[in-house]
Structure 1
Amino acid sequence: MRRPVYIQEKIARLLLFISVLLTLGVLSAIIFHIFYHGVSGLSWEFLTQTPRNMGRDGGVFPAIVGTVYVVLIAVLVAAPVGVFAAVHLAEYSRMGIWVGVIRYAVNTLAAIPSIVFGLFGFTFLVIYLKLGWSVLSGGLTLAMMILPTIMRTTEESIKTVPDAYREGSLALGATKWQTIRLVVLPNALPGILTGIILGIGRSVGETAAVLMTAGSSLQVPQSVFDPVRTLSLHLYLLAFEGISFEKAYATAAVLMIIVFVTNFLISFVIQKMLIKNTRESN
C-alpha cells in the first residue's frame, strides 16, 4: 500500500532537517576546535611581526600581506575574464557544438585538482615565461583555478534576469550592449558577487598550487615578482613539518577570520544591492 503524500513529505522534510543539522554541526565543530586552540596564540605582535626561527617565533604579517596580494591578483584577472565570457555565452552565442564544447571545457576545468594547476603554473609561468616563484605566478595560477566558478555562476545569474527587462530596454531604443550593461548586469550583480566570493574562498585556502608557483618567503614582498608565503601555505608548513602546532592553530584562526570578514562584507553589499533593486522595481 502506498504511503500518503503527506507522510512522504514529512519524511523528506525530516531528512532535510537532519542534513542541515549535520552540516551545521560539522562546521561548528571545526570552528570551535580551531578557535579553542588558536585564540590563545592571537595577539597584536602575532599579527604585525615577521616570522622568526622558521615560524616558531614572531608573527604572520608577511603571510597576511602575501595572501592579500595573491588573492587580489587572482580576482582582478579572473573576474573580468569570467564575467565577459559568461555574458558572451548567455547573451550572444547560440546553442551549438562550440558552445557545448566550451561549457564542457569549463566544467572539466573546474574539476581539475589544484596540484595539476600548480604543476602547469610551475612549468608555464615559473619556468617557460621566467616569472619565477613570485606573487604574480601564484596569482595567475589561482586565477585559472577560480575562473570556471566565476564564469558558471555569472552565466546562471544572467539567465535569471527576466526577458521582459531586455525586451523593455530594447523597445525603448537601447542597443544590445546598452541593455546588457545597464539592465542585465546590474540585476545579475548579486549572483556575480556570489561567484567571486566562492572564488575568493577557494583561492585563500589553496596550498598546493601556491607552493609550486608563489614560493615560500618569510619576508614581505616588495613587488609582484618577489616570492611570497600565503597563510594557508604557512599553516601547512607549520603543521606538516611539526614546527609549531600552537602557531599553526593561531594561523588557522587568522585565516578563518579573514574568510569570515570577507564573506560578511561582500554579503552585506549583496543585500544592499538586492534591497536597492527591489525598491527601484517597485
Structure 2
Amino acid sequence: MSQGDGDRFRPNRQVRRWLGPIFGTACFLATLTGVVVLIVLLGAILFAALAGPPHHPWYAVGANMRELFALLSRLISQRQSSDPAIAGYRVGLVGSLWLLGLVALIGIPAGIGAGVFLEEYAPPGRLKRIVQTNIANLAGVPSIVYGILGLALFVRAFGVRGLAMGPSLVAGAFTLGLLILPIIVITTQEALRTVPNSLRQAALALGATKWQVVSGHVLPMALPGIMTGTILGLSRAVGETAPLLMVGAAGSILRLPRGPLDRYTALPVEIYNYAKEPNRQFQTIAAGGILILLVLLLSMNAAAILIRNRFRRYR
C-alpha cells in the first residue's frame, strides 16, 4: 500500500477509534436500562404485595420477607373468592400445572420432530423455503390470534359437534401448543445447525444410516440448545392470558380439574380477574399472584440453565 493510500485511510481509523468506545457505552446503557426497569418492576410488585396494613417499616427486611412468605403461602392454599381475606390461587395454579404438562406432551414432540425433519431430512428447494418463512412468521403472530384459531378449531371444531372439545383443558393445551410450536421448531433447527457437518460426514463414512447419525450423534450434541429453547417456550405458554380467555378458561371456578376434559382456569386469568376488582385490597392479592407466577417462570428458566450446563459437561 502506497503512502497516499495510508493517508486516505487514516481518517477512517480515527473515526473507528472514537466509535468503538461510544458503541460500547451505548450497549452498556441499554443493558443498564433493562436491568433498572426490571428492578423497578419487581420493587413495585413487592411493595404492592406488602401494601396491606403496614405492620413493619420498609427497612425491616426480615419481618417483611416473613410476612410476604405468609401471604404467598395463603394464596397458594386458598381458592378464588370475592372476600380478599380468604382469596387465593389454588385452582388457577393447579390448572396452570395441568396446562403445562399437556402442552409439553403436545408441543415438544411435534416441535422437535418438525425441526429435525426440516433441518436433517427435508431436501433444499422452494417448498422448504416457503415452510421456513411461514414458521418464522408464525413465531411473531400475536397470541390473541392463536386464541381465535383455538376457539374456532378446537373449542367449536368449525361447528362439527362430534369433534368440538368445548372449553376444556385439552382445548387450551392444544391452543398453547400451537402458540409455542414455531418457537420450538426454530430453536431446534438453530441447535442442530451448531453441530459440525464433519461429525455427520464421519458417521456416514463409517457406514451409519441417516437415522443412526441423527439419533446417535447429532441430537445428543444439539440437546442442550433444544432443551433450553423448549423450556423457554413452555415458560411463555404458562404466562399467556389472552389465548386462554378466548378458548373459554373460566374466570371463576372453585373445583379443581381432575382430567383433560374438565373446565379449568389458569393462574394468569385469576391474576387478571383480581387486578380489575375495584377493592384496593385485591391489588395485594394480584401482586402476590404475580410473584407466584414469577417464581414459577424463574424456576423454569433456572431449570433450562441447569439442563444446558449439565448436558454440555458430558459432551
TM-score band, normalised by the shorter chain? over 0.9
What amino acid is the match of 2:291? A
**1:258 corresponds to:** 296
**2:196 corresponds to:** 162
Distance 2:311 2:292 in 1: 29
Indicate yes or no: 2:80 matched with 1:51.
Answer: yes
**1:27 corresponds to:** 38
**1:78 corresponds to:** 107
Give the paired residue count.
Answer: 277
2:263 is matched with which residue: 223, 227, 241? 227
2:133 is matched with which residue: 104, 128, 136? 104
Deviations 1:27-79 (A, max 9, x none): 22212222232263724232122222277633211111111111221122111
Structure 2 CA distance for partners of 1:55 and 1:64, relative to 1, 3 Å: farther
The Cα shift of 1:190 comes to 1.1
Q: Greater CA deviation, 38-47 or 16-25?
A: 38-47
The Cα shift of 1:223 comes to 1.0
Q: Which runs of 5+ in 1 are unaligned?
A: 278-282
TM-score (norm 2): 0.83
**Of Structure 1 and Structure 2, which has the larger fraction of its residues in helix?**
1
Q: Which runs of 4+ in 1 moved over 4 A?
A: none
Structure 2 CA distance for partners of 1:55 and 1:200, relative to 1, 3 Å: farther
Q: Is this contact kept in 2: 1:38–1:252, CA < 8 A?
A: no
**1:271 corresponds to:** 309
Distance 2:206 2:112 in 1: 26
SS class of match (1:13): helix
Q: Which runs of 5+ in 2 are unaligned?
A: 1-10, 51-67, 158-162
Distance 2:141 2:85 in 1: 34
The Cα shift of 1:218 comes to 3.2
RMSD: 1.7
1:145 is matched with which residue: 179, 193, 211? 179
Q: How does 1:181-200 map to 2 (within 5 A)?
A: 181-200=215-234
TM-score (norm 1): 0.92
The Cα shift of 1:104 comes to 1.5
What amino acid is the match of 1:264? A
Distance 2:255 2:293 in 1: 18
Indicate yes or no: 2:98 matched with 1:69.
Answer: yes
**1:280 corresponds to:** none
The Cα shift of 1:205 comes to 1.1
What amino acid is the match of 1:74? V
